[in-house]
Amino acid sequence: MTPRCTIGGYRLTTAEIVYHLPDHPDLLQTFVWQDYDLIPKLPVLTHFLDFWRHNIDGALHSVRVCTAPDGAAGGYRNVVWEGRLH
């Protein structure tokens, strides 16, 4: 059986979507989206973000996208420290 990521150039794509809460616009919330998409045009993600803009009250703040390498297998890696600086 052929993995879906090798059919038609689709790759597993993950997007971290940061948006403003509708009731508290100064607060940000994170939503993680994951699907198979074509790189670099991202038509599936673009369609989802268009749906978000037209049907969901939370205004988008930022979107960060990453993809798995072509044919990449899942694996485990121990991370000693992970953090963010704003």
Instruction: Kindly give the pairing relationship between strand 10-20 and strand 60-67.
Output: antiparallel
Domains of the chain: 12-67 (3.10.20)
| pTM of the predicted model as reported, rounded to 2 decimal places | 0.74
1 pLDDT band, cuts 50/70/90, is very low
Distance, in Å, from the CA atom of 19 to the CA atom of 25, rounded to the nearest integer, reads 9
How do residues 58-86 score in pLDDT, each as one tens digit? 999 999 999 877 656 667 677 777 666 65
pLDDT > 90 fraction of the chain, expressed in percent and rounded: 59
Would you give the DSSP letter of residue 41? T
Whole-number pLDDT of residue 74: 66
Mean pLDDT, range 20-37, rounded to an integer: 95
